Amino acid sequence: MNIGIIGSGNIGAELARKLSAAGHMVKLANSRGPDTLKDIVDGTSISAVAKEDVATDADVVILSIPFARNAEAAALLANAPANAIFVDTSNYYPQRDGRIAEVEIGKPETVWASEQVSRPLIKAWNAILSQTLIEAGTAPGTQGRIAIPFAGDDLAAKHVVAELVSATGFDTVDAGDLAGSWRFQPGSPAYCTELTIQELEAALSNANRDRSPSNRDAIMKAISDGTVAMTRAAMAANNRVMSN
Ligand SMILES: NC(=O)c1ccc[n+]([C@@H]2O[C@H](COP(=O)([O-])OP(=O)(O)OC[C@H]3O[C@@H](n4cnc5c(N)ncnc54)[C@H](OP(=O)(O)O)[C@@H]3O)[C@@H](O)[C@H]2O)c1
């Protein structure tokens, strides 16, 4: 497939590497331009492109930029073919993104992001630590394979996205439509907790919409004050404890 990725940070760059290694034609763009992507694309078959060109012939466009900047991507997604599939990896962190009133009062994050870009989005790869994405992918059928949730309103598009998630090393659980995607936002038990399919299904059904934002903020505080080490193992273990 032709895959365009907007955002070349922790998540976008690793998705580019994995999807390219899986045989897809990957174009990667950031805000600064293709010259700044040399370190990522050299020695790979990933194409570094200008952000205005990233979506033009894409079957799938993955948006992997800070949540509050999603509106900036609207013009880029307008360049995509009519039948392209759009994926959102973003999460709302008010400490980084500023307070966004509609999200604060409960609009699911990717519903808000969809409105910013005027495209239907599938939410995926948001509930995995970047280090987990980099280190912990395994082949389908591997005992204990980590699963990640995804959600969206288009069943056919979700099927495509689930296949792509598997190609990056992870099982999937379909968490339903986008309106229900609050079940795997930051601070929920399904968010960055490294669970198997069965464990993830239970975590999704145990999500508490009211508690997740305060869990998220308490987790961020524990990381910033050094109570939790910034290692994959410590962060995933702490998320499991503090996200109930
Ligand atoms: N880090 C994690 O563990 C993790 C896990 C799951 C989901 N997420 C979410 O996924 C998203 C990306 O996370 P990240 O850690 O990869 O972020 P990051 O390292 O900060 O990278 C963000 C990327 O977005 C690009 N960008 C920003 N505005 C843009 C625009 N208008 N047009 C094109 N590119 C733009 C930046 O470009 P420049 O490089 O030119 O600045 C940068 O490459 C965030 O919403 C985050 O919350 C993160």
Q: Does any domain span residue 70? A: yes
| Domain presence at residue 227 | no
For the entire predicted model, the pTM comes to 0.98
Q: What is the CA radius of gyration of the chain?
A: 17
Atom 47 in ligand 1: residue holding the nearest Cα: 91
Asked, for residue 188, whether it belongs to a domain, the answer is no
**Number of structural domains the chain divides into:** 1
Amino acid 244: pLDDT: 87
Residues 6+ apart with CB under 8 A from 193: 203, 236, 239, 240, 243
Average pLDDT rounded to a whole number, residues 157-175: 98
Phi, psi of 19 (to 5 degrees): -70, -30
- Counting from 1 in the atom list of ligand 1, the atom nearest the Cα of 72 is 31
**Is 92 a pocket residue for ligand 1 (Cβ < 6 Å)?**
no
The verdict on the CB of residue 12 being under 6 Å from ligand 1 is yes
Residue 191 lies in a domain: no
pLDDT in tens, 202-242: 999 999 999 999 999 999 999 999 999 999 999 999 999 99
Cβ atoms of residues 49 and 61 within 8 Å: no
- Pocket flag, ligand 1, residue 68 (CB < 6 Å): no
pLDDT tens digits, 149-164: 999 999 999 999 999 9
Is residue 169 in some structural domain? yes
Position 98 in a domain? yes
Average pLDDT of the chain is 98
Q: What is the CATH number of the domain that holds 79?
A: 3.40.50.720
Site to probe by mutation for ligand 1, drawn from 17, 27, 31 as the one with most ligand atoms within 8 Å of Cβ, is 31
Ligand 1 site, residue 191, Cβ cutoff 6 A: no
- Range of 40's domain? 2-179
